[in-house]
Structure 1
Amino acid sequence: MPYLLNALSMLIQVAFGAIATLFMCRLAAEATRADFHNPLSQFIYRYTNPVLAPVRRALPNWRRINLAALLVVWLSLLLERLVIFLLAGFLPGAPGLLVLSLADLLDFVLLFYIVVIFGWSLLTMLSADPYQPVVRLAGAMAEPLLRPVRGRMMVGSIDFSPTVVVIVLLLARMLIAAPLLDFGTELVRGG
């Protein structure tokens, strides 16, 4: 029976992760003012707008941050945690679940940017077409994080700024998100 629960948990994580990723892409694309004429940007907009349009009436943007998309990402991660706990036959307390879901949100955002920066730098190293929609969107999303260190981490003609930013994001996962996840787990356990 635990094998079936593990498989079901994995499927739930994939489904909620896909939803969170779609809305995180919308959040990052809007925040970086990614090219709307990009077919990938249009796809993201088309499939997130029916959910975000009503929420944005109550929760408008703050500067360039789409708070409605951030709320949907957080709610999807909260529901994922809740469903997995319920599958295990455990009803978590609200404070622990809220802390865990906020830690999940922070960890998810950090991991999202690690994947975007790594994917973009890999595509550029492989000399992918710079006008390809994925390269353009990933480049637009990665640029705000890379801009502060770009050009400062050069060795010859190689720019190591993506490596430095990924290391900083990995450290943030280890030193900020992981302790917050541990704290939320302790709250859920009641310890």
Structure 2
Amino acid sequence: MSYLLSALSFLLELAFSALATLFVLRLLAEACRADFNNPLSQFVYRYTNPVLAPARRVLPNWRRINLAALLVAWLLMLLKRAMLFALLGILPGVAGLLLLSLADLLDFVLVFYLVLIFAWSLMSMFQVDRRQPVLRLMGSLVEPLLRPLRGKLVIGGLDFSPWAVMIVLMLLRLLVVAPLTHVGTALALGM
């Protein structure tokens, strides 16, 4: 029976991660002012707008942060956590569930950026068309993180700023997300 639970947990994680990716991409693309004419930006906008348009009437943007997209992404993580607990037959504490879903969202964004920066760095090493939509969107999303270190960590013609940012993101996972997850789990299970 645990194999079936593992498979169902995997499918839940996959489905909710795919949905959360759309809303996190929308959130980050608006925050980073990604090119709206990019076909990928239009795809994300087209598929998230039916959900976000009604929510934005109640929850407007704050500066360049799309609060509706942030709320939907957090609610997706909350629903995922609740369903995973339900699969295990556990009724979690509400405070723990809320904190765990916040930790999940933060971890998701950090891992998303880790993968994005790694892929962008890898693609920048090869001869790739700079007008390619994926590379343009990736560049506009990683540029705000890399800009403060750009040119300051150049050794032998190589820019190590992506590595430094990735190390900071990993430290954030270890020093912020892990304690939040630990406290959230303790609260959810009533320990």
TM-score (norm 2): 0.98
Q: How far off its partner does 1:178 sit? A: 0.5
State the distance in 1 between where 2:50 and 2:188 align: 34
Q: How far off its partner does 1:93 sit? A: 1.0
Deviations 1:100-153 (A, max 9, x none): 111111111111111111111111112221111000000000000000001000
Classify the secondary structure of the residue corresponding to 1:148: helix
Amino acid at match of 1:116: L
Structure 2 match to 1:60? 60
Where does structure 2 lack aligned partners over 5 or more consecutive residues? none
Deviations 1:131-185 (A, max 9, x none): 1100000000000000000100001211010000000000000011001100101
Q: Which of structure 1's runs of 4+ aligned residues deviate more than 3 A?
A: none
State the distance in 1 between where 2:189 and 2:67 align: 30
Structure 1 match to 2:71? 71
State the distance in 2 between where 1:115 and 1:66 align: 22
TM-score (norm 1): 0.98
Report matched runs for 1:39-118 at 5 Å.
39-118=39-118
Structure 2 match to 1:144? 144
Where does structure 1 lack aligned partners over 5 or more consecutive residues? none
Identity, % of aligned positions: 65
Aligned residues between the structures: 191
Amino acid at match of 2:126: L
State the distance in 2 between where 1:116 and 1:38 align: 17
Q: How far off its partner does 1:81 sit? A: 0.4
Give the aligned CA root-mean-square deviation in angstroms: 0.7
State the distance in 2 between where 1:99 and 1:37 align: 37
